[in-house]
Amino acid sequence: MILTDVQKEIVQKIDEQISNWKNWKWQIKNAVKDIETFEKLTGIQFDPEERLKIQKTLDNFPLSITPYYLSLIDTDNYQNDPVYKQAFPDPKELENCRFDMNDPLAEDKDSPIDLITHRYPDRVLFHVSNVCAMYCRHCTRKRKVGDVDNIPCREKITKGFDYIKEHSEVRDVLLSGGDPLMLPDDYLDWILTELRNIEHVEVIRIGTRTPVVLPYRITDDLVNVLKKHHPIWINTHFNHPREITSSSKEALEKLADAGFPLGNQSVLLSEVNDCPRIMKKLVQMLVKNRVRPYYLYQCDLSEGLTHFRTPVGKGIEIMESLRGHTSGFAIPTYVVDAPGGGGKIPVMPNYLISWSTNKIILRNYEGVITTYKEPDNYNNINCDLNCNECDLELKTNPAEEIKAIGLEKLLADHDSTISLTPENNERIKRRDD
Ligand SMILES: *Cc1c(COP(=O)(O)O)cnc(C)c1O
């Protein structure tokens, strides 16, 4: 077993065998939950005043870090460390702004029964676990963290099955939590078997951060249990390139080899990953490990997250730096989860600059402005949902051209200009060479 020096040191300080390191249950059992242990294992020392503030913070929002995730902290520069910031309490968590809410996404209001959030027409969130290996400081369900660290009983979960059975429109079930992969294998097997027995459930999704904070959870046994219930999609939660280690790569490889399409949901966090270069690196590393970046979330208005929030403009800047600059399949959709429960709303830079009834003006990632000519006589057929009687015979009738300048020129029919290019465009210069 290859452990880093830091990891070996941590195991020794816990007074345990190195061979335990990759045992996920051992990792959970030895999760760091107090300042003292944290100091002992990392060698970081807080001064008494700071300690008091941290203690007060974790009295409100508890702490839990797996030894593995702890081992990724750069102890020499921990104040700026992305792993430390995601895992260790910051007294700023107690500074609320007046827009912060206990349940900003109204998940509880959109919950017809315990454990189920039914927001969208054809899919539900099913909170099958209240447990997480590591308590993310930026958790959107911070209100719930640590208060009921237990596994919902079979009876409660069965009521969830009943709800899904009664709602034949539900074709996609998202297992979430907490972290569903914190459940024992046989319990997961039971849940998945029950869901698979519901005919209208086409897809099951699992949202888990275990590949990031507890990669040893992805055992061969677990993979064999999950594999029985395909199609299962798995979404994980990497926020920073530093979280992609040989252990997490191994976990992702196992999952990808077993045929689970892998996605990643990142949260945009101030002073953690609010940088176009960090994000580009992250998404490129993810696709290299067969993980498709799925969502980039704007940080929610949950209490305790104020210091993590960035302006939406930062997210747009990041999206600007990705589209065109790197592989399309490495680009996540940036979303704001609507406060009040409206669901995810995609946000992106404006590529559509102007339009008339027959042309649109677009700009690309380089700033090149171009036109897309709309179809001339687009006959919008009045759809009465009667496909048998639908007649799709379209006529063409080119429009006459008139004279114009600037952007107007691009919109005008009489001018054949199709694009405007800024001066000194490197790509165009290459063509002339
Ligand atoms: C995010 C979310 C979903 C899933 O949304 P997709 O866009 O399909 O990934 C479903 N229900 C709730 C409540 C959600 O927050």
Confidence class of residue 350 from pLDDT cuts 50, 70 and 90? Answer: very high
Catalytic residue among 81, 90, 179, 337: 337
Strand (E) positions, 121-217? Answer: 123-127, 172-176, 203-207
Confidence class of residue 394 from pLDDT cuts 50, 70 and 90? Answer: very low
User: What is the Å distance from ligand 1's center to 204 Cα?
Assistant: 12
In angstroms, rounded to a whole number, what is the distance separating the alpha carbons of residues 166 and 259? 30
Q: For position 103, what pLDDT does the model report?
A: 83
Q: For residue 101, what is the DSSP state?
A: B
Q: Has residue 427 got a pLDDT over 90?
A: no
Q: Has residue 396 got a pLDDT over 70?
A: no
Q: For position 186, what pLDDT does the model report?
A: 97
Q: For position 97, what pLDDT does the model report?
A: 80
In angstroms, rounded to a whole number, what is the distance separating the alpha carbons of residues 415 and 396? 20
Catalytic residue among 141, 205, 217, 242: 141
Share of the chain above pLDDT 90, in %: 73
Confidence class of residue 406 from pLDDT cuts 50, 70 and 90? Answer: low
Higher pLDDT: 97 or 165? It is 165
Q: Has residue 279 got a pLDDT over 80?
A: yes
Confidence class of residue 395 from pLDDT cuts 50, 70 and 90? Answer: very low
Q: Has residue 68 got a pLDDT over 70?
A: yes
Catalytic residue among 249, 292, 344, 409: 344
Confidence class of residue 405 from pLDDT cuts 50, 70 and 90? Answer: low
pLDDT in tens, 225-245: 999 999 999 999 999 999 999
Q: Residue type at 270?
A: S
Name the pTM for this structure.
0.89
The closest of 199, 98, 111 to 160, measured between CA atoms, is: 111
Q: Which two tokens stand for residue 117?
A: 């959030």
Residues 111-131 have a mean pLDDT of 93
Q: Has residue 385 got a pLDDT over 80?
A: no
Instruction: Give, for 292, the enclosing helix (H) or strand (E).
Output: strand 291-297
Domain boundaries, the chain: 9-91, 116-349
Place of tokens 């409100």: 60
Residues 42-71 have a mean pLDDT of 96
Q: For position 340, what pLDDT does the model report?
A: 83
Q: For position 339, what pLDDT does the model report?
A: 86
Nearest CA owner, ligand 1 atom 8? 123
pLDDT in tens, 39-52: 999 999 999 999 99
Q: For position 318, what pLDDT does the model report?
A: 94
Q: For position 141, what pLDDT does the model report?
A: 85
Q: For position 341, what pLDDT does the model report?
A: 82
Distance from CA of residue 239 to its chain's centroid? 8
User: What is the Å distance from ligand 1's center to 227 Cα?
Assistant: 23
pLDDT in tens, 199-222: 999 999 999 999 999 999 999 999
Q: Has residue 297 got a pLDDT over 90?
A: yes
Q: For position 31, what pLDDT does the model report?
A: 96
Ligand 1 atom with minimal separation from the 295 CA: 9
Q: For position 149, what pLDDT does the model report?
A: 58
Q: Has residue 38 got a pLDDT over 90?
A: yes
Other beta carbons less than 10 A from residue 224's beta carbon: 12
Is residue 137 annotated as part of the catalytic site, yes or no? no
User: What is the Å distance from ligand 1's center to 348 Cα?
Assistant: 19
What mean pLDDT, rounded, does the chain reach? 91
Q: For position 398, what pLDDT does the model report?
A: 47
Ligand 1: residues within 6 Å at CB?
117, 119-120, 123, 125, 174, 344
DSSP reduced 3-state for 198: coil
User: What is the Å distance from ligand 1's center to 200 Cα?
Assistant: 18
Q: For position 354, what pLDDT does the model report?
A: 95
Residues 116-142 have a mean pLDDT of 93
Q: Has residue 183 got a pLDDT over 70?
A: yes
Residues 4-26 have a mean pLDDT of 92
Residues 373-379 have a mean pLDDT of 88
Confidence class of residue 355 from pLDDT cuts 50, 70 and 90? Answer: very high
The closest of 293, 248, 228, 286 to 266, measured between CA atoms, is: 293
Domain 116-349 superfamily per CATH? Aldolase class I (3.20.20.70)
